[in-house]
Structure 1
């Protein structure tokens, strides 16, 4: 299963946010997908066109790069959109009332660029909070209404990701926060093209996914005309973006389903390390990395069109979204050794079972190594063995999930697991190839259940002055 394990098809490393960095959505740093390599001074002025009364840009909050601790004014008043004066690059500054105010912490100051070759939220490092939401176009809404909606959504994403207030009727939910590495990503589902009269532009790669034996899919929580992924390192910043996107939909679209997730917060560990999932497993060991020479080929649709993809999908990617329930009560009854055999890696540090006592998470797995009795150290049905690219014709995907916990269900068991999101240039060669292999004998399958599913075409990033999907909707 391509989902909650320490698998060799795993998620991006969870890393501490760099202070006051501006991260282009298509410029990851070495070893950390999507992370910029140099700090950038953050402008303190109100952005052009921003409301002048009561909605001053959240960008005003950004102070010295690398400052720690988000503080309030000296008198204890909240600092936010309505601050009397913008922050300088000093360690502290004064508001119009003379109160001393401190700069944002590095966590709040992280900024990801909206515009770029690729949309943000694909190679961006995992964020602490996420929302996945699908919309259906309203009855009577078509291509014209969809274009206007994507234009509104793109402008909202640009503003909020830059730490600015929403253009209209900002709720103030994120008033005290910086951008907090917010990303907003947009995609189109299979049904979108019929609704907008664009069937001839629908990619063959959007053909419905096949059925799998572990599927128990709720159709009401699957698919959708439009899909939005929101991530941030602050829960209120993420919710603010979610609420604003929902309000922007107006009468053009209605929410079909929404799912909320989380990851470990940057800085929660003594040093940056690969994240763990709700099974306690290190989850992200062998995710493809942007530094690899074939990364773009595996993850993004090429510009040339040689792949047979429509021109509007150049530099885009395909997102497979699955709500995967972890049967935690069953899983936690296994002994540590049994859990490790299911996965094929040590639970403590993610090292392969074939590696010996000095192995680390990055030690190469030896699939043929046996113990003194001749038994394979990595069992034949171990998840990490089955999901490896070299066991699936080189198939790979960039996994970028969120964990979820939606309380206790009617049977008294945790409704918890993984909001699985994976990215690839071709879902048939990526997700489908690996999932078919897992479907035939993965030891992890008895401890998980796929409860919803979606496949979305995510076009390339918007250039300056463009909105996401413009080349499709106006081409």
Structure 2
């Protein structure tokens, strides 16, 4: 249902090179704060001496930078980030292709600056119209990812270039969808390892939309902070389950085939080469009901041990599930309706998707239960071969389904990454 994405080359090269002026200012600010404490104890001399010290490097979390330009957009194979915002926009009345192109140009420019740890307005000194929220922070693995909904092509007069993968998702019996929090002309995913950096990017994206596009819906999520565990490990969801063990990995020979749209297809859709499709689902977890189950019962619902994510058929988290293995009583160790069994590629003709979610908690619902769950995001080259067949199978008898409620849904075509000097979507909007 959710997953930990594997590392991208962009993020691994993030700490190389000299510190930007923005980062130096940020670390100098940290040193100044320490000086204030020393000044309180030792007087002005201690404060002045501290201010003269050379600034130290940002922490690993703050210094990590993901590249904006590349074959694919950032935020797809980037490791899971600690916090995120999902936001959908509708083009304003009267806005068409020309206005959409100008907006994508502005959004791409501001995303590139922010991901490099620079002010949103590009100014070398002072915040200008930048909100100043992240002035003393580094890039913090910030990513900004853009996608187009099916209605975007109608609004911009580009219906002939709308790819078949944007055909509407079929209805599912577990759907209780709020149309006002579903779909949209444009979709933006923001992720970072610092909450203020993520919020800063959110405000910049909203401000750049100006009168061109209005917010349709927004959802906010979180994950475990990098470094919070003794060693890197697969994420846990709000049910406490290790979640995402079976995600495809870039080292898999068919990873690109499963996740990214290939080039050399129909010329009408060549703008999508190197891109992907994002299915976005707001899935509320009925935690009060779930937490009444014993750990043993929870494990049988999932098909994996809660403590370490290992399949009930034995081994460790990464051990392949033995779906035919039975216990001494002759019953399958992984029940026939277990979530892990039903969603496995082996049971779905090899269908797979890269799951990269955020958890969410929006307080208490009117019925007194937690309004909490998963902002499910999955990436695939074709949703009709990735998300749809798996969700259909889950819809017919997944043991986890009684504890979930799908409350919102969206499907977006996410263009390939922008080359240097190019903005995201340029190959569609200027062709």
**TM bin (shorter chain):** over 0.9
The aligned counterpart of 1:19 is none
What is the CA distance between 1:44 and its match in structure 2?
Answer: 2.9
The aligned counterpart of 2:338 is 382
The aligned counterpart of 1:274 is 234
The answer to whether structure 1 residue 210 and structure 2 residue 210 are counterparts is no
Q: Separation in 2 of the partners of 1:257 and 1:62? A: 35
The aligned counterpart of 2:125 is none
The answer to whether structure 1 residue 302 and structure 2 residue 302 are counterparts is no
What are the equivalent positions in structure 2 for 1:7-46 lying under 5 Å apart? 10-12=3-5, 28-29=8-9, 35-36=11-12, 39-45=15-21
> Contact 1:110–1:181 (CA<8 Å) still a contact in 2?
yes
The aligned counterpart of 1:249 is 209
What is the CA distance between 1:11 and its match in structure 2?
Answer: 3.3
For structure 1, the residue ranges without an aligned partner over 5 or more in a row are 5-9, 16-27, 46-56, 64-68, 78-93
> Contact 1:353–1:378 (CA<8 Å) still a contact in 2?
yes
> Contact 1:42–1:59 (CA<8 Å) still a contact in 2?
no
What is the CA distance between 1:449 and its match in structure 2?
Answer: 0.5
Superimposed CA distance per residue, residues 113-134 of structure 1 (whole angstroms, 9 cap, x where no aligned partner): 0000000000000000000000
What is the CA distance between 1:320 and its match in structure 2?
Answer: 0.1
Q: Separation in 2 of the partners of 1:99 and 1:172? A: 25
The answer to whether structure 1 residue 142 and structure 2 residue 132 are counterparts is no
The aligned counterpart of 1:166 is 120
Q: Separation in 2 of the partners of 1:186 and 1:304? A: 22
Question: In structure 1, the residue corresponding to 2:4 is in which secondary structure?
Answer: coil
CA RMSD of aligned residues (A): 2.1
The answer to whether structure 1 residue 261 and structure 2 residue 221 are counterparts is yes
Shift of the 152–146 alpha-carbon distance from structure 1 to 2, 3 Å rule, reads same
The answer to whether structure 1 residue 323 and structure 2 residue 279 are counterparts is no
Q: Provide TM-score, normalisation by structure 1.
A: 0.84
Q: Separation in 2 of the partners of 1:351 and 1:452? A: 31
What is the CA distance between 1:58 and its match in structure 2?
Answer: 4.3
Question: In structure 1, the residue corresponding to 2:378 is in which secondary structure?
Answer: strand
Question: In structure 2, the residue corresponding to 1:101 is in which secondary structure?
Answer: coil
> Contact 1:404–1:418 (CA<8 Å) still a contact in 2?
yes
Shift of the 142–240 alpha-carbon distance from structure 1 to 2, 3 Å rule, reads same
The aligned counterpart of 1:116 is 70
Q: Separation in 2 of the partners of 1:442 and 1:240? A: 39
The answer to whether structure 1 residue 334 and structure 2 residue 310 are counterparts is no
> Contact 1:261–1:402 (CA<8 Å) still a contact in 2?
yes
> Contact 1:354–1:367 (CA<8 Å) still a contact in 2?
yes
> Contact 1:128–1:263 (CA<8 Å) still a contact in 2?
yes
Superimposed CA distance per residue, residues 257-312 of structure 1 (whole angstroms, 9 cap, x where no aligned partner): 00000000000001111110000000121110001110000000112216x87110
Superimposed CA distance per residue, residues 130-161 of structure 1 (whole angstroms, 9 cap, x where no aligned partner): 00000000010000100000000000000000
What is the CA distance between 1:62 and its match in structure 2?
Answer: 6.7
> Contact 2:15–2:63 (CA<8 Å) still a contact in 1?
no
The answer to whether structure 1 residue 198 and structure 2 residue 158 are counterparts is yes
Q: Separation in 2 of the partners of 1:71 and 1:193? A: 50
Q: Separation in 1 of the partners of 2:157 and 2:14? A: 45
Shift of the 443–36 alpha-carbon distance from structure 1 to 2, 3 Å rule, reads same
> Contact 1:71–1:103 (CA<8 Å) still a contact in 2?
no
Q: Provide TM-score, normalisation by structure 2.
A: 0.92
Q: Separation in 2 of the partners of 1:300 and 1:193? A: 21
What is the CA distance between 1:380 and its match in structure 2?
Answer: 0.1
Count of residue correspondences: 415
Question: In structure 2, the residue corresponding to 1:450 is in which secondary structure?
Answer: strand
The answer to whether structure 1 residue 467 and structure 2 residue 423 are counterparts is yes
What are the equivalent positions in structure 2 for 1:75-474 lying under 5 Å apart? 75-76=35-36, 98=52, 100-167=54-121, 169-305=129-265, 310-355=269-314, 359-474=315-430
The aligned counterpart of 1:90 is none
What is the CA distance between 1:370 and its match in structure 2?
Answer: 0.7
Q: Separation in 2 of the partners of 1:58 and 1:255? A: 31
What is the CA distance between 1:72 and its match in structure 2?
Answer: 4.3
Q: Separation in 2 of the partners of 1:70 and 1:317? A: 40
More deviation, 144-153/167-176: 167-176
Q: Separation in 1 of the partners of 2:213 and 2:104? A: 11
What is the CA distance between 1:42 and its match in structure 2?
Answer: 3.0
Question: In structure 1, the residue corresponding to 2:279 is in which secondary structure?
Answer: strand
> Contact 1:301–1:316 (CA<8 Å) still a contact in 2?
yes
Question: In structure 1, the residue corresponding to 2:160 is in which secondary structure?
Answer: helix
